[in-house]
Amino acid sequence: MNPIFSVVTLALATVVVGAADKPVSYYNDIVPVFKRSCTGCHHPGKLKGQLDMTSYEAFKKGGKHGAGFVAGKPKESAVIDEVSGEEPSMPKEGDPLTKPEIAMIERWIVEGATNDTPANAGSYKLAAAPEYSQPPVLSALAFSPDGKLLAVSGYHEVLLHGGAESNVVARLVGESPRIESLAFSPDGKKLAVAGSAPARFGEVQIWDASTTGTVLTPPKSFKVSMDSVFGISWSPDGARLAFAGADKVVRIISAADGKELVKFENHSDWVFATTWTVDGKRILSGSRDKAMKLIDAANGQFIDDVNKLLEGLVCFARHPKEDVVAYGGEMGVSRTYKIGENQGRTAANNDSNFQKEFERMPGPVQAIAYSPDGSNICVGSIGGEARIFNASDKKRVATLKGHDGAIFALTYHPTTNWVVTGGFDGKLRVFETAKGELVRSFVPVPLKTGAVQQAAK
């Protein structure tokens, strides 16, 4: 036996014996064991045996083998049967539970299997809008279709600015600490947010885009995963939302009620991006596994890998009018592809949908966007600059300089010749696109007194 494992087991046994004079705590004693060994396979996104062990209520309800436990009766409790014996059925992966751990669960059941989970346990909700002592890293930006609103990621919130001005008209405060992706609905009336508490939950929020002032609860909020979700996108009719996640899954939900309509599990690594074809019948997903996968949006059937697998995909953007996608890769290269079946890609190693490859950036491409007319592509990376390329001849049109660190988000204004960038230094920068000249820059969040001057420096 591993010496370290022996020490840990002995220490746990000592704790259990020493704590025999007080009841076993579900929240403090049982939950940590479940999180380590059980909830990876028994959570809402992966209900093996139809069992969810992420909450007391769900665990008590049980799965296809009956209730998870029966208070006061460990021999009639399914959980004890599953984790006990020389070759226990559970967990399927990883080390089995130790004898002290099993004894602790048995004692908790004998003692009545009470739920002492605090009322606010697991909640990330804020009592008020956050205060900032320094600018936060900006991870996501999006303009409304008419250009009157600019949505900017913050901590636990999305800030809506009037156009590309330093003019906060709403602070949309939600539960997710991280805002991963933003998208306005095609009619501009709603804002979809992909947020997360990494390794805790992934969340989709849907806001009324006409909201003003500070709002602490989004009109619609859906916990959709046990980990981060990314790359949210609206169907052309505004009825469905596609998004991807760190759990390697691509999902489509109903925007009306959050009901899961499609679950696609064909990727082998984190999936960062989704987009819809022009007709809304298919979606495209992009992953760190190097693949852009074409998926039937009606039934989740895999159609084809659009591209030859060259490098991990970090981000992509679809042409505003055509079924063409531009992606940014881990190796600093951006490429454009036709969205369609890639016939013969395996047997002949073809890359039949490939169109253009653009100048390599200093590091991984973190953000990419098409101009409103599709003529240009803007690419953001590390190294303090973004670059604008002509989508047809691949020539560099402009260089957007002056950033302090990586650029994680950028978006074109839909009706002007502006592009807005944001990233590591927490500042928004507005550039005109012909020569790349800076129009203005500002911190998009309200800073505490005394922090404003420091941020300006």
DSSP letter for each residue of 99-163: HHHHHHHHHHHHTT------TTTT----SS---BSSPPPP--EEE-TTSSEEEEE-SSEEEEEET
- Helices 99-110 and 3-18, packing angle to 10 deg: 20
Residues paired with 245 in a beta bridge: 229
Strands 201-208 and 190-197: antiparallel
Domains and CATH numbers, the chain: 3-110 (no CATH), 141-456 (2.130.10.10)
Is the pLDDT at 9 greater than 50, yes or no?
A: no
- Residue among 252, 294, 243 at smallest CA distance from 270: 243
> If pLDDT is split at 50, 70 and 90, which confidence band does 454 have?
low
Residues paired with 362 in a beta bridge: none
Contacts of 150 (CB under 8 A, 6+ apart): 141, 142, 143, 144, 160, 161, 162, 163, 164, 411, 420
Q: What is the pLDDT of residue 45?
A: 65
Q: What is the pLDDT of residue 346?
A: 57
**pLDDT tens digit sequence for 355-409:** 999 999 999 999 999 999 999 999 999 888 999 999 999 999 999 999 999 999 9
Q: What is the pLDDT of residue 123?
A: 72
Least confident interval from 20-29, 159-168, 246-255, 296-305: 20-29
Give Cα 72 to chain centroid, integer Å: 41
Is residue 161 within 8 A of residue 168, CB to CB? The reply is yes
- Residue among 358, 379, 381, 378 at smallest CA distance from 434: 378
Q: What is the pLDDT of residue 85?
A: 84
Q: What is the pLDDT of residue 119?
A: 78
Cα separation, 320 vs 307, in Å, equals: 20
Is residue 236 within 8 A of residue 53, CB to CB? The reply is no
Cα separation, 307 vs 340, in Å, equals: 9
Cα separation, 190 vs 201, in Å, equals: 22
Is residue 191 within 8 A of residue 174, CB to CB? The reply is no
**What is the DSSP-derived secondary structure letter of residue 5?**
H
Q: Which two tokens stand for residue 180?
A: 């991963």
Q: What is the pLDDT of residue 345?
A: 62
Mean pLDDT within 143-170 = 95
Cα separation, 337 vs 346, in Å, equals: 17
> If pLDDT is split at 50, 70 and 90, which confidence band does 159 have?
very high
Q: What is the pLDDT of residue 170?
A: 94
Q: What is the pLDDT of residue 104?
A: 94
Is the pLDDT at 11 greater than 50, yes or no?
A: no
**pLDDT tens digit sequence for 235-280:** 999 999 999 999 999 999 999 999 999 999 999 999 999 999 999 9
Cα torsion 232, 392, 410, 144: sign: negative
Q: What is the pLDDT of residue 89?
A: 83
**pLDDT tens digit sequence for 323-356:** 999 999 999 999 999 999 877 665 566 889 999 9
Q: Where are the beta strands (DSSP E) in 21-121?
A: 42-43, 46-47
